[in-house]
Chains A and B, each alone.
Chain A
Amino acid sequence: MKKISPTLLAAAVASALFNTQSAIADDSANEHINDTAENIENTEHISIIGGQASLNKTAGSVARIDELALEAYEFDDIARVLATVPGVNIRQEDGFGLRPNIGFRGVTPERSKKINIMEDGILIGPAPYSAPAAYYFPIVSKMTAVEVTKGPSTIKYGPNTVAGALNLVTRSIPADAEGSLDLAFGTDGYYKAHTYYGSSVDKFGFLFEGITLGSAGFKDLDGGGDTGFEKNDLSAKFSYDLSSASNATQQYFELKLGYSDEISDETYLGLTDEDFAKTPNRRYAASQLDSIDWEHTQIQLTHVATNEDWEFTTRVYRHDFQRAWNKLDEFGSSFNGDIPSLQQILISPNSDENIGFYNVLTGQADSTAREILVLGNNDREFFSQGIQMSGSASAELFALEHTLNVGIRMHEDEIQRNHTQANYFMRAGQLVSTMEDRVSTTTNTEFTRAWSVFIEDTIEFDALTITAGIRGELIEGEYQNRAPGFEQDFQNKTTRIWLPSISAYYALNDNAGIFGGVHQGFVPTSPIQPESIEVEQSNNFEIGYRFVDNGNRAEVIAFFSDYSNLLESCSISAGCDTDTTFAAGDVDVYGLEALGAYTFELSNGLSLPITLSYTHTQSEFKQTFYSPFNQWGFVDVGNKVPYLAENMISMNAALQASKWDVSVLISYTDGMPESAQTALSGDIRDSTLAGVVTDDLFNIDLSAGYNLGSAGRMYAKVDNILDSNDIVSRRPFGARPSKPRQFVLGYRYSF
């Protein structure tokens, strides 16, 4: 075996992140590394889910957006990045995608809490088990690939196996000295500065990367004020190669350090429909103090050992996250009594009960003691740490070629909530403290220690490849109320589950194949949830056809998720004030994903790659019930799950020449129901948004670049070229707009 270069080993590290994809790859791990290295040379990015060949033979839906595709649009918003991936449903919120809501195959997208979000193969959510809401999301602008795994392959990436995994891939350490400086400016005070430099010297490699990103915001606050954000991200990678020509086993270490922060003047407060129609980008005066401030640090140490027969990866990680979001939560009254929710006020602002509150919200009237604005500061500290080991080996057994993948992870995470509230009066359009003491609302800790194992065997027999696997989770959760006098308010909870999967790919010929699979879906409950709230479980099925020929591609997949217990965890972003979990029992979600990609080679060296993607999703509750969860309310059999668009379609086309390129991304998403309840019944417990749907979303993004040779590359882009103003959702409180048209001009110098 020849000596593996740092670059190859870097590729191996990256490959190991989604380690088992190498098993689906053609042959041995070593060949996989070579295959990956080839990709590096060809496309200047590292594939972590194997080369294209492995993707083509995957029994299940796996999609990758590579660095070239990411650079084409320079998107900072994961929602726009994922627009071309079928089976991805997203509820937009702030327009920038700062805290995205992503679901796959119909799982509700609320705070992306039902998918596994990973960075370089490691769970990156603040506390994926104890508090899965992804209030931290890695900065997309610096990623070199984005990968989406759905279907049976999901079983390798717990804890949430019901939907899939989203993996964000950071830049790998380059083999030779390499760097880049990317500067961009745009409308609404948009700016981005992104630079990196890395190299490998003998056995030592390093990479430094930094990015700062911000905007003055596109919303107009009543009375003036900032509505934008600032984000910074610094990271460093160091590697050391222990490989030697004399040793058959090659080894490699990599240390990754990261720091990021964000301050954004973001709010949960939207608008009434009437105000949205007049000025969609308005923000009411009551949101003038709203701001979130967070810091995130990460340290990851990776060791890879590999030889001709096996590879083994060990990863140790620790992430810390602190956030404080001070924002308008609700109205209060010194007289107690009935106080409408912000959602109720914004849906019916002119009613007798609500008009006074609406006038205060908009700053048109001063507060009385009956209309006190309550600002909650949800201060939370998280950590997530663990060690995960995975390996793969190939062997011939009973005259069949087996590729075995195994993994084990010991993970711990914790959330400490230190929530407080303070009261304000509206006075002449300004929020003025009532001078009352700030009070504690929620003071508790949730901690989880989870052991996960999986084993998966892939057996090849002629044209048929069968993969069977099982995942086990042992989850020990601890909840403790830390408020004085509530020492006995605690719970220790243990959950065990085995989650099997099986899938098959049958090659019809060298270019086409059919595949199918079934796996058990699972979403754990957090430590605070009582035993009576059962974990979410589902049986997930998929069947598909794939055709691949020299980069052109067609894929159709039908999926069906049979939930035996659909859960929703309700937070303020969903319109609640607690992290309560609600259960809906049996729910069916099914649909179709289709993808087509074809490159037209034109005259004069021009090429025109086009990608079309389509997703159709249907959902239905299988029983009639009432739930106090405000996205459900009174639900009848057959009602649809909220925030799932029936039809989503997108087209990505580019005209590419040697010196220049122009790309256009056109997407359409059906309006989505904002509640499972289809109409108001007059009952006080009605879901406030019963029967209300979001706008149909039609969006066109355009980008163009010109290569200046050694002098770099100029690029320009226009997001939302039609400047359409659509209601993307009415949650948490009121109608919220999509990002308006934005012009950006940038320059990148690489060496």
Chain B
Amino acid sequence: MTKRIVKTAIALAVASIIVGCGESTSTETGAQFGQQDRVVDNTFNETALLTSLVDKVIVPTYLEFAQNALALQNAIDNYCGALSSQTDASGDLANAQASWQTAMTTWQLAEMMQIGPLLENGSNLRNKIYSWPNVSSCAVDQDVVNAEAQDYDIRLRTSSRKGLDALEYTLFNTNLNHSCTAFGTAPDGWNNRPDDARMIARCHYSLIAANDLVENANVLVDAWQGSEGYGEILKNAGQQLSDFTSALEAVNDVSDSMFYLTEVTKDAKLATPVGLFANDCGLSPCVENAESVYSDHSLQNIIANLKAFQTLFFGGSEADVGFDDFLVEEGDAETAEKMKQDLAAAISFAESLNSSYETLLSEQADQVEALHENVKTVTDTLKTDFIQSLALELPATSAGDND
């Protein structure tokens, strides 16, 4: 009898586990729920758009930047040579500064194109080239001195010590004293050095940083070019063996990068310095919170951002396959036209501002606010009609913004 009961118990246990598998879940969701797989029924050739974006916009921009970086390296080399030979270096400094401005303008186009390799491992490559807003003039002051050691290797240093932001400080800052204020952070004996020695030290460090910049620019170009480069990956998105499940998913990566105009250009470069967001002066215009304070290049940066957005939107020039065509194909020519007009208006308004950005902030803050409004007109459409008409998803960082 006992055996029978034990057998029955075992049978019941097995049956119990089998029965326990009877779980079922069903759902009904709203159109805005979660990160849903969107079914896009369109005839638009998204691969053509991606090809246009890669071949006519993104890769050419990166290539141009690599050339700009090389020119900057040469200009700084000349400047250092002039300083070392104790000849008048002002012309070489001006050339180096102009080269930096050229490179920076190109990079501000690339800022709007942060896709793939630039984003890997926490935007590691992007930050090596340009780490703003995570910048530290004190860290650069320290490395100007650290770089004098034999074993100094800039590749091992953190991003706030190098790149275009570090070069702006070493090339444009006329105050030769260090900027470190926290206890124990000042580079030893720096302020006691003669001016010439400090200029040479900064120039030598600039050259090291420029060499690093060239190296990183080439890494970026190499990552995009070739048969296995990221350019091909994007262009082949959605095809067999692709990392992307669809071409639209790759298009979504590009549209994500275009949200730079919202989160960085509109908010960080305009709203924050003008005091719409809290800044170091509270909620009033704050010159020191502009992007490129040493070079007074902040407005040019914003204009470059807008132009990069426009180029991406058109897929190159207006005749190329771009997002405007995609919108028209999806039956939303109205949004295509509105964005085109609003972008042109924003660029036109930005270019019409004759003063430096710093002057605008301190004397004509209303003009900066007006520019902010112009940009916001574009980004409002980007976040709503543009995304919805093309069945794209908002980037996660944009979902909870303050607009």
Contact = CB atoms under 8 A, between A and B. Distances in A.
B12 A369 contact: no
Given A461-B5, A518-B16, A492 B27 contact: yes
Nearest to B35: A530
Interface stretch (B120-128, B341-349, B350-358): B120-128
B26 A502 contact: no
A468 interface: yes
B282 A435 contact: yes
Interface string A566-607: 000000000000000000000000000000000000000000
A535 B25 contact: yes
A578 to B, nearest CB: 10
Contacts of A441: 400
Interface residues of A, number: 62
Contact of B30 (A335, A466, A489, A534): A489
A461 B32 contact: no
A52 B2 CA distance: 27
B16 A468 contact: yes
A466 B402 contact: no
A534 to B, nearest CB: 7
B28 interface: yes
A337 B25 contact: no
A490 B182 contact: no
B26 A337 contact: no
A683 B121 contact: yes
B123 A338 contact: yes
B134 to A, nearest CB: 6
Given A436-B277, A530-B27, A531-B26, A488 B33 contact: yes
Contacts of B380: none
Given A369-B289, A464-B2, A336 B268 contact: yes
Interface in A496-514: 496-502, 504
B403 to A, nearest CB: 10
Nearest to B8: A466
A684 interface: yes
B133 interface: yes
Interface string B124-144: 100100001110100100000
B197 interface: no
Given A337-B133, A468-B16, A518-B17, A530 B34 contact: yes
A434 B32 contact: no
Given A436-B277, A495-B25, A535-B25, A353 B16 contact: no
A41 interface: no
A495 B22 CA distance: 10
Contacts of B9: 466, 502, 504
A488 B30 CA distance: 4
Given A499-B20, A530-B27, A491 B264 contact: no
Interface in B24-48: 24-34
Contacts of B5: 461, 464, 466
Contacts of A500: 15-17, 19-20
B283 A352 contact: no
B202 interface: no
Interface string A512-532: 000000111010010000110
Nearest to B22: A498
Contacts of A487: 30, 32
B252 interface: no
A539 B12 contact: no
Contact of A353 (B133, B134, B279): B134
Interface string B239-275: 0000000000000000000000001100110011000
A98 B276 CA distance: 40
Interface string B279-323: 110110010010000000000000000000000000000000000
A365 B182 contact: yes
A369 B272 contact: yes
Contacts of A234: none
Given A335-B272, A423-B278, A425-B278, A468 B30 contact: no
Contacts of B278: 334, 369, 372, 423, 425, 434-436
Interface string B357-396: 0000000000000000000000000000000000000000
A623 interface: no
Nearest to A486: B32
Interface residues of B, number: 56
Contacts of B26: 493-494, 531
Interface in A419-445: 423, 425, 434-436, 439, 441
A65 interface: no
Contacts of A336: 133, 263-264, 267-268, 397
- Among B13, B34, B133, find the residue whose CB has the most chain A CB atoms closer than 10 A: B13
Contacts of B289: 334-335, 369
A731 B225 CA distance: 44
B90 interface: no
A318 interface: no
B19 A498 contact: yes
Contacts of B132: 335, 337
Interface in A439-497: 439, 441, 461-462, 464, 466, 468, 470, 479, 481, 486-497
A495 B2 CA distance: 39
Nearest to A521: B20
Contact of B161 (A352, A425, A488, A494): A352
B188 interface: no
A558 B83 CA distance: 79
A335 B17 contact: no
Interface of A: 333-338, 351-353, 356, 359, 365, 368-370, 372, 423, 425, 434-436, 439, 441, 461-462, 464, 466, 468, 470, 479, 481, 486-502, 504, 518-520, 522, 525, 530-531, 534-535, 537, 539, 683-684
25 contacts: A335-B264, A337-B268, A352-B161, A369-B280, A369-B289, A423-B278, A435-B282, A436-B277, A436-B278, A461-B2, A461-B5, A464-B2, A481-B32, A490-B30, A491-B28, A496-B23, A498-B19, A498-B20, A498-B22, A500-B19, A502-B16, A518-B17, A530-B27, A531-B25, A684-B124
Interface of B: 1-2, 5, 8-9, 12-13, 15-17, 19-20, 22-34, 121-124, 127, 132-134, 136, 139, 158, 160-161, 182, 263-264, 267-268, 271-272, 277-280, 282-283, 286, 289, 397, 400, 402
